[in-house]
Every structure is written in structure tokens, then in C-alpha cells.
Structure 1
Amino acid sequence: MGEGPRTTTGERVLAVARSFIGTPYRHQASLKGVGCDCLGLVRGVWRELYGAEPEVPAPYAADWAERAGEERLLEAALRHCGPALAVAEMRPGDLLIFRWREDVAAKHAGIAAPDGRFIHAYEQAAVIESPLVPCWRRRIAGVFRFPELS
């Protein structure tokens, strides 16, 4: 008997992200089962897949995007995942960055899931899998693919 089909990077990202479901929301945290925010979910997935984070974010307030105006999330995604993809190219396991309003920096992140859903840390709740309904979809500021795993 030969080996089964190879698991893709996207499938592995999705499996790790789903393992965070139920983790309580905790601002600036990134530990599965203990607490994380939306960036912490991405950081925790990255650590589990690649062994270490590519960079550690500086402390940030809940309103950092409104005050700073810097595209920190989009710039970090570009540095570590490469160029943004078209929303139409989105696949399960891709990193999604959201912008609440046109006049502020993007400040929410999640992981694309099958069947028009995504996984994210929902403030004052936990990591959940939600439908990527039109009000979420129109707020997508970038779609990025995690680097290939060996």
C-alpha cells in the first residue's frame, strides 16, 4: 500500500485553526485553550505549523488601528505570506484581513474555511467558525496564503 494523499498547507492551517475553536477571547494573547485575540489566533497557528513566529508584535491597544492609521496587519501579511490574492482566489486555510471602515487601518484577521465560512477570535466571546456573510466579505482587505510547508 502506498501513502495517502499529501495534506496541503491550507488543510493543515485549517486543522490547526479549528483546534483553537472555543479558546476564550483575550486581548494580545495567543495560546490555544487559554486565550487569544484575532492576531493571536494567527500567531498560534503559525507557531504550531512553523515552530516559531516570524516576528513578535509590539503591545497594542484595542483601538490601535483608529489611532495609528498604519496598515500593520496588511504589511505583516505581505512580509510573511507574500502578495495579496484576489478574493475570488480564496481557499480554505488562507489568511483573511478585514477592514471595518475605509478610513481606518485593517484590524481583524481570520482563517478561511470551506463552505463560505471562516474562523476568527470574536471579541468578548471565543474563537468561532462563522459564515462569511456579505457584511464580512465586503470588509476583506486582503487574502493571503500561508507559506508552503515541507
Structure 2
Amino acid sequence: MEILRTILVFLHLLGMAIIVGGYFANIKAPKVIPGMLHGAYLQLITGIALFGLLEAQGAMTSDLRIKYTVKVALGLLVAVFAFLGNRREKLAARTAAEVPVGAGAPGAGPAAGEPGGPVEPGARVRNPSAPFAHLTFGAAVLAVVVAVFWV
């Protein structure tokens, strides 16, 4: 049982490293990368498994149950933020690839490249998932703070 717990803790910490590493790898232009989403899923699954393992061993007190319930809720938030940010990145990439470049006929509105004009294929919206990258990172760090400092 101890070996299983150790493996789950290792995978749980690996998920956190993936989230934090993905955030810092894109710190100049924050975005949710697929690795951050996978790390969030890994953390959520291993966190729930660790919670269940403690419950199965009968080692849960009411204080620990509250702490781990808060951590599972934070894990869900991290996964939701990462999912929404990843979805926004994919949507922005798909939209930029599908929008045709306008010919700029007189009176038809702004031409390509002008503010409010059509977007060239391949052009991307700058950092569409930046808020979700910040929220994912912040919620993951908050989960660590709860794990370390909540006695």
C-alpha cells in the first residue's frame, strides 16, 4: 500500500511540475498549453486516488477530510481553468485559419490589416487564453499552499 501511495504522490507532484513548468515556459506570452491541461488532469486523478486511499485505510480525521475536500475542489478548479483556456486557444487558432482576407472593396468596411478589418489566415489572436493561464497557475499554487500550510 505504501508503494502505491508513493507512486501516486510522485505522479501528483509531476502534474504540478507540468502545470508550473508550462506556465513559466510561456511567461512572456502566457497561454494554456496542452501539457498544462494534461498536468491538471493528472493532478486531479491522482489527488482523488490519494483521497480514496486514505479513506480506505481509515486514516481520515474530520480535519484531514476537510483539507482534502478543499484540495479536490481546487484541483477541479485547476482542471476547469486549464480546459477552458485550452479550448479558447484551439478556437482562436481555428478561427484565425478560417477567416478569409477581404478584398477591401470601396465602402465595404475596413481592409485587411486595419483595426476592425478581416484577419489574415494563420494570424492568431494575441494570448486568447492568458487569463485562464494565470487562473490555472494561481489555483495550482493555492492548492500547494493549502497542502503545505494547512495543519
Bigger Rg over Cα: 2
TM-score (norm 1): 0.29
Q: Which has the higher helix share?
A: 2
Higher strand share: 1
